[in-house]
Amino acid sequence: MARRPFDIRAQPGFGFIALITFFALYLPIAALVAYSFNAAESLSHWEGLSLRWFVSAWQNTAVQDAAIRSLMLAVWAAALATIAATMAALATTRTAPYRGLTFKYAFINQPLMVPEIVTAVALLIVFSRIKVWTGYSGMGYLILAHTAFCIPFAYLPIRARLESMDLTLERAAADLYATPWKAFRHVTLPLLRPAIIAGFMLAFVISLDDVVITEFVKSGGQDTLPTYMLGQLRRETSPEINAIATVFLALSVLLVTVFFFVNRRKP
């Protein structure tokens, strides 16, 4: 009698455990979204549906400044991280295996393995000395910090696409006397574009949502939207925070969804 292949979904209690897991994960998020439409000033007392707190957040100049700063920071960090990740992915995949290559993989992905608080403290120490030496305390430190943290998130989908790509067209371009730059521009880059877009969007979301590194590195007057929300929660709890968090959630879900569909495209 042939044995059935193992299927976790057929195990006793799998459905119940999965249901409890999803319930625990998404119930707090559902409560947050529901109460962002609450007309009451209380976070726990329901008085009916209203867009009051979305309008309030939209008209709040502090929220506007923090949102613009967050978007600019995320765009710069994601763009720089994607460029660096693309070059790193090309350097680690378009070469014959050699000793030390695995170390390079681990080194590039180091921000994923090290606790974020450790990275934040390290950046704080380095940037504090640079601020003393140069006198500069602008947004450049936040851009560099977010770029360094976002590189592995952009690197992983780009590297995965490069490893799955057929080298036939690149070799044909080389056989037809195309320079390495022309072969990359006209062959590799068009095939790699979906992964580059996916890496950029993933890095953008990570930068947009970051709190720990931003809180340690930023100077006065450089609040991003997440750090602004954290500061508001420390001082006073307003349903306006629920509305901002709901918009953040919608934007993150939208970008991750686009990332998923773009990354599914075959090279």
Q: Domains of the chain (ranges plus CATH)?
A: 12-50 (no CATH), 59-264 (1.10.3720.10)
**Can you tell me the mean pLDDT for 141-157?**
91
Cα–Cα distance, 14 to 8 (Å, whole number): 7
**pTM score, two decimals?**
0.81
Comparing 234 with 212, which gets the higher pLDDT?
212
pLDDT surpassing 70 at residue 13? yes
**Can you tell me the mean pLDDT for 82-107?**
83
**Can you tell me the mean pLDDT for 92-112?**
79
Comparing 212 with 41, which gets the higher pLDDT?
212
- Enumerate residues 6+ apart whose C-beta is below 8 A from 38: 45, 46, 47, 48, 49, 50, 53, 239, 242
pLDDT for position 245: 86
Q: Quick one: what percent of the chain has pLDDT higher than 70?
A: 93
Cα–Cα distance, 170 to 64 (Å, whole number): 47
Cα–Cα distance, 5 to 236 (Å, whole number): 55
Confidence band for 69, pLDDT divided at 50, 70 and 90 = very high
pLDDT for position 264: 66
pLDDT surpassing 80 at residue 259? no
**Can you tell me the mean pLDDT for 127-135?**
88
Confidence band for 90, pLDDT divided at 50, 70 and 90 = confident
pLDDT for position 155: 92
pLDDT surpassing 60 at residue 2? no
Of 58-67, 97-106, 126-135, 153-162, minimum mean pLDDT range: 97-106
Q: Cα angle vertex 109, ends 108, 114, to 5°?
A: 120
pLDDT surpassing 90 at residue 147? yes
Q: Quick one: what percent of the chain has pLDDT higher than 90?
A: 15
